[in-house]
Amino acid sequence: MCSDEPRYEREFPGLQVGIGAGSAVGDMCALAKCDYIFGPLSTFSMWASFYGNKPLFLIHDSKVRIEREKFGVADLAEIP
């Protein structure tokens, strides 16, 4: 979990969660090592996906179901 606000593992009961380093570079490296990345439309998430060659799902709509088939490595062709 990487955020620009302090986050704690206890906020995610029942899930195995790692908390990012808290710096931009540390968080980018932590996200790039994840199996999957998902989050809001963000160049930060896109760069982490590209850098780590990891599948990404950008959340455009809170009603959309997150499914493994919808993930893909960011190619940075469309940067918001």
Predicted local distance difference test score (pLDDT) of residue 49: 95
49 Cβ contact list (under 8 Å, min separation 6): 31, 32, 37, 55, 56, 73, 74
In-domain check, residue 59 = yes
36 inside domain: yes
Distances (CA, A) of 19 to 5, 25, 64: 11, 14, 25
Pair of tokens at residue 51: 């850098």
Q: Does residue 41 have a pLDDT over 90?
A: no
The domain in which residue 38 lies consists of 9-73
Q: Kindly report the CA angle at 52 between 46 and 53, in degrees rounded to 5?
A: 80
**Does a structural domain hold residue 78?**
no
What is the total count of domains within the chain? Answer: 1
According to the model, what pLDDT value does residue 35 have?
93
Q: In the structure encoding, which two tokens stand for residue 5, read together?
A: 């606000």
